Amino acid sequence: MVTMMGKRSKLADEEETCRGYAGVAECTSGVDAEGRATSLRPLDLSSPHTQAFHLAWLSLFACFFAAFAAPPILPALRPALVLSPSSSDVPNAAVASLSATLVGRLAMGPACDLLGPRRASGLASLLAALAVAVAASAASSPAGFVALRFVSGLSLANFVANQHWTSRVFSPSSVGLANAVAAGWANAGSAAAQLVMPVAYDLVALRLGVPVTVAWRVTYLLLPCVLLVATGLAVLAFPYSGDVGGEAKKTAARERCFWEVVRGGVGDYRAWVLALTYGYCYGVELIMENVAAEFFRKRFRLGMEEAGAAAACFGAMNAVARPAGGMASDAVARVFGVRGRLWALWAVQTAGAAMCVVVGRMGAAEAPSLAATVAVLVACAAFVQAASGLTFGVVPFVSKRSLGVVSGMTASGGAVGAIVTNRLFFSGSRYTIEEAISLTGVASLICTLPLALVHFPRHGGMLWGPTRTAAGEDSDDDEDANDHGDYALLK
């Protein structure tokens, strides 16, 4: 078993090295000793680091577009796929999508550690495109709709590869911001789907006169599938994966048994706490992106395009809020270290949970104001998505050896939180959608509290300080950061 894993790890070495890629060799400034970018310069398209950054977020953008392509065109899908408004067809499909995200992200973590994030990302996009195309072509019933949401949800496994790839391309001084911006811009794919899918469907069905049962399939094939194929091929064709230096050390690390890598992540309680809290920041985002359009259609009697535009406000905040969370995490770390990162995460996520409660209460009012509800929804999105960025400002400290596994566990926690919340509050008729949104906020408030238990022996935690010095640190395991809270990933 170890021998087989050793052979497979050679693929990862080839994947992660950028030897022979002239662009990296020409980078004589703005990189560290291992060839990683020391700053994020999105407009410097001549830099291989910037090119990798843009490919990483664009490929994940396509995945988010595909995963959330169905909710904004539900009014068209209901008659075409015989979805009953009074049944649990739509909630079941949402759970299927979230479950697929969970499974995919758990698998993607080890895949990134063994094959490398670039190759794992490209292959995942192409496989998702094929699965979505087949499911969209074959669906003709509620079961087919569930299958379509499931396979499109699998594409969100790419989030793990996205974060892993940018972590290799950027140095400790810039990786927090790079991770947050890449994830934030990519998450905005859900907002793009809310805006574009209804318009594209209307164009195909109404302007071109394509029958309803065919129009939505054509829309799926022309948008989500084409985006997935284009970005998947681009990622696989790109030669630079990051981390020029330190090949010998990384090779030795990858020669370890696969199960040792998995055990390093699964056996760390901090990974589980971060997975729980992420389940109620990113998990809240997943819930809202699944129900927001329906919420506006039912509560404010908006049309498909208008409801999609209102719902898109939530996802669109990702382009700003998540990067802001990453920047905030780095900023407080410069003054308060890792303890500051944890306190900032707790404060921002608590504020987001409170705003979620307010959104539900405003929607339940006798004569709710659309403008005020959208404004509070945007505020909720800002805090919730910033908390997601703040979470991944903490993740790299848990274990550098098992970074992919820890990232996968944390990312999967978002899907688990959304699944549990969907089942508890949004399935069936026990709660109205407004009550369910408020209860989601309450659950988020409660599940953020365990952050107080997270402690790093070298850096401390929210409630108490460090318990050992750098001299006693095991440099091969966890807490890959200096005293200012800057991380040195995979060094």
Instruction: Kindly report, residue by residue over 109-149, the tens digit of the pLDDT.
Output: 788 878 889 999 999 999 999 999 999 999 999 999 999 99
How many C-beta atoms lie closer than 10 Å to residue 210's C-beta?
Answer: 17
- The tally of domains found in the chain comes to 1
Q: Residue 11 domain-assigned?
A: no
Which tokens sit at 27? Answer: 């980078």
How far is 239 from 201, CA to CA, in rounded Å? 37
Higher local confidence (pLDDT), 20 or 428 = 428
Taking 60 as the threshold, does the pLDDT of residue 23 lie above it? no
pLDDT tens digits along 277-335: 999 999 999 999 889 998 998 888 898 889 999 999 999 999 999 999 988 988 898 89
Structural domain contains residue 62: yes
Q: Token pair for residue 138?
A: 């074959």
- Per-position b or e across 387-412, b if 16+ CB within 10 A of its CB: bbbbbbbbbbbbbbbbbbbbbbbbbb
Domain membership of residue 13 (yes or no) is no
Question: Is 487 within a domain?
Answer: no
Angle (CA) 240 222 200, round 5°: 120
pLDDT digit string, tens, across residues 240-282? 665 544 443 454 445 456 677 788 888 899 999 999 999 999 9
* 249 in any annotated domain: no
Between CA 142 and CA 179 the distance in angstroms is 37
Which range, of 172-181, 254-263, 368-377, averages the lowest pLDDT?
A: 254-263
Rounded to an integer, what distance in angstroms lies between the CA atom of residue 491 and that of residue 468? Answer: 21
On whether the CB atoms of residues 259 and 150 are closer than 8 A, the answer is no
The H-or-E segment that residue 221 falls in is none
Amino acid at 471: A
More confident residue, 382 or 103: 382
For residue 413, give its domain range. Answer: 47-236+258-467
Predicted local confidence at residue 257, as pLDDT: 66
> Do 245 and 24 contact (CB within 8 A), yes or no?
no
List the beta strands (DSSP E) in 287-363: none
With bands split at pLDDT 50, 70 and 90, how would you rate the model's confidence at 489? Answer: very low
Question: Averaged over 9-22, what is the pLDDT?
Answer: 41
Give a yes or no: residue 245 inside a domain: no
Q: What is the dihedral of CA 288, 293, 296, 302, to 10 degrees?
A: 170
Residue 355 lies in a domain: yes
Which residues fall within 8 angstroms of residue 302, CB to CB, at 6 or more apart? 296, 310
Length of the chain as a residue count: 491
Q: How many CA atoms lie within 13 A of 243 on its CB side?
A: 27
Q: What is the pLDDT of residues 69-106, one digit of tens each?
A: 999 999 999 999 999 876 788 889 999 998 998 888 88
pLDDT of residue 407: 80
Grouping H, G, I as helix, E, B as strand and the rest as coil, residue 460 is strand
Rounded CA-CA distance 236/251 in Å is 22
> Residue 15 above 70 pLDDT?
no
- 370 in any annotated domain: yes
CATH number at residue 270: 1.20.1250.20
For 354, the token pair is 């409170």
124 alpha carbon, distance to own chain's centre: 14
